[in-house]
Structure 1
Amino acid sequence: MEQGAISDYGFLSDCRSAALVGRNGSIDWWCPDRFDAPSVFARLLDPAGGHWWLGPVAPGRVQRSYERDTLVLRTVHHTPEGSVAVTDALAAEQGARAHELGMNSPAVLLRVVEGLSGRVRMGVDYLPRPEYGLITPYLREQDDGSVLARAGPAVLVLRGDGLRLRVVDDRVRHTFEVAAGQVVGFDLAYAATHGAPPARRDAVPGVADTVRAWQAFRESHHYDGRHAEVVRQSATILTGLTYARSGAVAAAPTTSLPELLGADRNYDYRFSWLRDFAMTMRAMWVAACPDEASRLFAWAAYSTGRIGAEPVPVVFGLEGERDISEHFCDNLAGYANSSPVRIGNDAWRQRQLDVPGEVVSAIWKFRDYLGAQFGAELREMVLGLTEQVAATWHLPDRGIWEHRDAERHYLCSKVLCWVAMDRAVRLAPRLGERADVRRWAGIRDEIRATVLREGYDERRGAYTGVLGSPELDAAVLYLPVVGFLPAQDPRMRSTIEAVERELGADGGLIRRWADDPGGFLLCSFWLVECLVLAGQRERAERLFEEVTGHANDVGLLSEQIDPGTGAQLGNMPQALSHIGLINAAWRLTDPRVD
């Protein structure tokens, strides 16, 4: 059984971990302890990496959808023998409702097979491979018909209602028939080897309880703007990417899905980026999730700690870990032989000067929600970030795209330094005696003058990616979004036209730079916002519809799209793509600059 296309996968989450299930019924990715923990299934990255397939022996036509406002996936298989539905979920804690979702998830995969018509022969192929495929576990048939897998740090128990599962060599292979009206449930429970044993959840009531938990959560959030259906779906996906115990939002639940097939631009995105902070906060607010926004503030304050002269890391582990050093899994071939497979992300070592601006901007936007007086940690964070920008804005950095070559004077980084100083000046009344408004305002004005003087290339008729360089970078579309320049400013209008003309591709896609292999979805949504701000609402609406049309059949967006084939590229689902969608929909609803 081969790896599916990236767009073939559906996303399951219990707000602790994630699983990806293909259209063919194979769960090819699951890191049960938490999003960034070692996998027990990794066929997504290597055919031998482990999987759990459950589906009709005779393939047929497939229809998929999520139960409304959930990440419980229902797949209907229409075969020559009849039709059968398989419902997949990562179990919520029993009885969990609304904001309890994910706080104590039991790490159990649930699968319910329901006969719809005829009599369909079903197959099971279960091949667990813990530690990113490094370990072949012992499989033992149990008296109750279940199978115990034990190896290294992981214990797994697979059960099927009324079935006695059999071990064949190093896997479970089993077939059974399901007739119309018949229901068969499976549960696969994980536990650490040296902890409490795996907890059983009966599949049928467990799925029903998980649906109720998700729907109770979404019922407490109301979005009244344009494109409500896709916004609600994207908000649900963002919730699924939230690590409930800390409030951190993972950039994606996967690692090393490539930006270009066969190349080495493939990174581990199972962490939380401060760089994305303001956009994430805005999307959560738009989607009416203020509680999650508040928790994300707290996570950021505690993760950064007391800020000194060293650059604030751009990315943290989900519980605030700072050192997430990168290494390679040489035993995995990579998706479509796109190696290496990376675990960890060395971007945590980079200087990225936009980070403080993202954070301070978010605090400014949510100032009223946070109250007249900030908590001590939040106040210290704003003061520390502002002073760091004051001392370092003139330095080169790696930019928001986290380039791994030489540091440069990236224009967007300078603009976000301006944002940090501008918002800090506005926040000064809440920051106490240490707010140095006159000095901060002077630095803010100096940064702005530098960008306006050195960032515009007269021959290209555009603001460019690096000060003094003629090379275009779609990151400049962020300038009107953060209020640095109005979209109708003649130079900004010329810049937007240049980006569309030279970095645009079919399908409403925008590349980040000229030789970027794919259209970067966030940049396409930034263009939607720019068009609204430039007064071109009808064009913006058409572009929004075109870009959202790149989602797969269950509404998931990856990081990039291949302009030639329309194939999804990069880690998926990608938080930034869904954040961009939500924020663009709101800009179409309310065009005011934040």
Structure 2
Amino acid sequence: MRYLPIEDHAVIGNLHTAALVNLHGSIDFLCLPRFDCPTVFARILDAEQGGFFSFTPADKDTRYKQLYLPDTNILVTRFLSADGIAELTDFMPIAETAHDFSIYRRLKGVYGHHRIDVQIQPRFDYARQGCRAELAPDGNGYLLHDPAGEQPSLQLYTRAKLEISSSGLSGVIDLAPGQDLDFILTFANGNSSSPGWESAFNHCRHYWEKWSAKCTYRGRWRDPVIRSALALKLLTSIHYGSTVAAATFGLPEALGGERNWDYRFTWIRDAAFTMYAFLRLGYTEEAEHFMDWIRERCVDSLQLMYGVDGRKDLEEMALDHLEGYAQSQPVRIGNAAYNQRQMDIYGELIDTIYLYNQSGGSITIDFWKDIVKLVEYVIAHWRDKDHGIWEVRSGEQRFLHSAVCSWVAIDRALKIAEARSLPAPLERWRKQRDELYHEIYEDFWNEEVGAYTQFLGSDTVDASALLMPLLRFVSSKEPRWLATFAKIEEKLLADVLVFRYKLEHGAEDGLEGEESSFTICSFWYVECLARIGRLDEATVAMQKLLGYANHVGLFSEEIGIHGEQLGNFPQAFSHLSLISAAVQIEKKRPSH
């Protein structure tokens, strides 16, 4: 296979960037020095040109197993062959500064002798550049340079003797029983000695174990909840406090289709939902750091999404020289949605600020003044059309979810003001909130369909309506919402898999092709089952849905009709909604 399935990957990271390691132990994706920078390895997007760092056993019948060490993001890949067992351990030390980067890789002969082919082929700048390799001047390892000089040079520390070629480094090693062989890839800095493996490993393991121990969830799904929290943490910048929607770009929502987006940016919506998940698990420091990022960069002129560092221009372009995962083109970097109007982000952000306030977070008067500006913007624009939560490219509409979140923005700001006795035009805000509520309740209801539909005048059922009780707009016993829930079950449900929407009667979203079930919608469905009292069904649905996770418990954005994972990976949306569903089921379980 030129391309392993998307789900046949795990992720490691240093809280500044992340790498995808496939089930056979090859690093097939890595951006440097941070999430939204150019790639050095991108074989997952082009099997020939993308670049990779692989270990391949000589025995072609080798079987592979992969796991994380408990409560950590340290990855172990096992090579199981007729000769015995070899093991590869991968991790990245936590970044201390904005320019820290190292990947530690240790091959270990557990039992028997093993011959392993090593290939290290960086392709800098999204594979638009090759690699120039040479011995390190002091003879301690090898240097790998970007021929254009745009990305930092890398140094590989290893005792292995490798051959230098125009494509990088290669060699064949013989691994004896009990033998360890280290490969440490880091930025070239002129150090004369290799960083120590043992101290780096122990420091990294203790960091993740200590972080995982802070989790307050103690329910039946602790393992997948912890794995989801660890994945969300890996997608969070330790330097800025922002969080990316996914580690990758260009992975298709449907094989051969054009829905191939760059998700390595900070969406206000995704980040707000991520902070909500962190707060529900007791991780207040992450929310505090994100609030600092919001206060410093975004509140004065809020846009949909930003670079990790807060930059606003995320121009979209296609990398035509890459064939795309399984020939799915175009491979896009940047995201044109950054300049879309999406009114729902105000409610999602202010709801998270409200939860942050409830958990004891600080709302300074200057921060409050910025929140007031956001609320006044919502009041002035809640009747405006926008592109909605799904970022359709077929034109603006009055989307249901955007209207509900506009109500949430005003409602939560009122609650913050009342809880903190902060100055605000409370009566005017209440009047606007209530007017908006009545319009949504009456005008967005489609009597012919028997449901709240995607946008004003639409007859399309949309899974985002599942959020109405989650955002406390309606009770989970509200008859009109229950009718909408039943319509979602009828039209969008395949067992426990939920589609965002299905275009009917000539409707279109501005893009070609079909899409698969959306994992966040599937977990919303599970949470709604729990909220309306169908707890046994929710419990079974949760367990079945968890069965679609990959071999190390990770989810991409979508699940296809053959059970395959599709879209960018790992996806924050999928994991934060898993956490929310697990917490809600636990809350509804009778105490004994």
TM-score grouping bracket, smaller chain normalisation = over 0.9
- Residue 510 of structure 2 is matched in structure 1 by none
Q: Classify 1:427/1:206 alpha carbon distance in 2 versus 1 (closer, same or farther; 3 Å).
A: closer
- More displaced stretch, 534-543 vs 197-206: 197-206
1:296 CA drift (Å): 1.2
What is the rounded CA distance, in whole Å, between the counterparts of 1:150 and 1:450 in structure 2?
Answer: 60
What is the rounded CA distance, in whole Å, between the counterparts of 1:505 and 1:535 in structure 2?
Answer: 21
Matches within 5 A, 1:409-420: 409-420=398-409
Q: Tell me if structure 2 keeps the 8 A contact 1:146–1:157.
A: no
1:315 CA drift (Å): 0.7
Does 1:110 find its partner at 2:104? yes
What is the rounded CA distance, in whole Å, between the counterparts of 1:264 and 1:498 in structure 2?
Answer: 29
What is the rounded CA distance, in whole Å, between the counterparts of 1:489 and 1:62 in structure 2?
Answer: 50
Q: Classify 1:591/1:500 alpha carbon distance in 2 versus 1 (closer, same or farther; 3 Å).
A: same
- Residue 506 of structure 2 is matched in structure 1 by none
Aligned residue for 1:545, secondary structure, equals helix
Q: Tell me if structure 1 keeps the 8 A contact 2:452–2:484.
A: yes
- Residue 359 of structure 1 is matched in structure 2 by 349
Q: Tell me if structure 1 keeps the 8 A contact 2:242–2:271.
A: no
Matches within 5 A, 1:153-232: 153-159=150-156, 161-191=158-188, 200-232=194-226
- Residue 98 of structure 1 is matched in structure 2 by none
Q: Classify 1:155/1:363 alpha carbon distance in 2 versus 1 (closer, same or farther; 3 Å).
A: closer
- Residue 86 of structure 1 is matched in structure 2 by 88
- Residue 99 of structure 1 is matched in structure 2 by none
Aligned residue for 1:378, secondary structure, equals helix
- Residue 541 of structure 2 is matched in structure 1 by 543
Structure 1 unaligned regions, length at least 5: 94-101
- Residue 318 of structure 1 is matched in structure 2 by 308
Matches within 5 A, 1:139-538: 139-142=133-136, 144=139, 146-151=141-146, 152-159=149-156, 161-191=158-188, 200-307=194-301, 312-370=302-360, 374-429=363-418, 435-506=424-495, 508-515=496-503, 517-538=515-536
1:410 CA drift (Å): 0.4
1:106 CA drift (Å): 2.9
TM-score by length of 2: 0.93
Report sequence identity in percent. 34
1:276 CA drift (Å): 2.5
Q: Classify 1:216/1:426 alpha carbon distance in 2 versus 1 (closer, same or farther; 3 Å).
A: closer
- Residue 590 of structure 1 is matched in structure 2 by 587
What is the rounded CA distance, in whole Å, between the counterparts of 1:389 and 1:491 in structure 2?
Answer: 26
Aligned residue for 1:249, secondary structure, equals coil
What is the rounded CA distance, in whole Å, between the counterparts of 2:272 and 2:453 in structure 1?
Answer: 23
What is the rounded CA distance, in whole Å, between the counterparts of 1:412 and 1:550 in structure 2?
Answer: 27
1:199 CA drift (Å): 8.6
Q: Tell me if structure 2 keeps the 8 A contact 1:462–1:492.
A: yes
What is the rounded CA distance, in whole Å, between the counterparts of 1:250 and 1:197 in structure 2?
Answer: 32
Aligned residue for 1:242, secondary structure, equals coil
- Residue 509 of structure 2 is matched in structure 1 by none
Q: Across the two proteins, how many residue pairs are aligned to each other?
A: 574
What is the rounded CA distance, in whole Å, between the counterparts of 1:424 and 1:327 in structure 2?
Answer: 38
Q: Tell me if structure 2 keeps the 8 A contact 1:156–1:198.
A: no
What is the rounded CA distance, in whole Å, between the counterparts of 1:201 and 1:156 in structure 2?
Answer: 17
What is the rounded CA distance, in whole Å, between the counterparts of 1:257 and 1:204 in structure 2?
Answer: 35
Does 1:31 find its partner at 2:28? no
- Residue 10 of structure 1 is matched in structure 2 by 10
Paired residue type of 2:39: S
1:322 CA drift (Å): 1.5
Aligned residue for 2:71, secondary structure, equals coil
CA deviations on 1:346-389 (whole Å, 9 max, x unpaired) are: 21101001011111111222223345x62134212210110010
CA deviations on 1:176-221 (whole Å, 9 max, x unpaired) are: 1112211111111125xxx877994234543333222222222334
What is the rounded CA distance, in whole Å, between the counterparts of 1:362 and 1:331 in structure 2?
Answer: 41
1:278 CA drift (Å): 3.8
Paired residue type of 1:174: G
Paired residue type of 1:313: Q
Q: Tell me if structure 1 keeps the 8 A contact 2:142–2:157.
A: no
Q: RMSD in angstroms over aligned alpha carbons? A: 2.0
Q: Classify 1:251/1:132 alpha carbon distance in 2 versus 1 (closer, same or farther; 3 Å).
A: same
- Residue 52 of structure 2 is matched in structure 1 by 51
Q: Tell me if structure 1 keeps the 8 A contact 2:134–2:164.
A: yes
- More displaced stretch, 570-579 vs 145-154: 145-154
Q: Classify 1:3/1:280 alpha carbon distance in 2 versus 1 (closer, same or farther; 3 Å).
A: same
Q: Classify 1:241/1:277 alpha carbon distance in 2 versus 1 (closer, same or farther; 3 Å).
A: closer
What is the rounded CA distance, in whole Å, between the counterparts of 1:130 and 1:528 in structure 2?
Answer: 43
What is the rounded CA distance, in whole Å, between the counterparts of 1:376 and 1:440 in structure 2?
Answer: 19
Aligned residue for 2:570, secondary structure, equals coil
Aligned residue for 1:10, secondary structure, equals strand
Q: Tell me if structure 2 keeps the 8 A contact 1:277–1:358.
A: no
Paired residue type of 1:361: D
What is the rounded CA distance, in whole Å, between the counterparts of 1:12 and 1:199 in structure 2?
Answer: 24
Q: Tell me if structure 1 keeps the 8 A contact 2:121–2:131.
A: no
Q: Tell me if structure 2 keeps the 8 A contact 1:108–1:188.
A: yes
- More displaced stretch, 430-439 vs 285-294: 430-439
What is the rounded CA distance, in whole Å, between the counterparts of 1:30 and 1:134 in structure 2?
Answer: 15
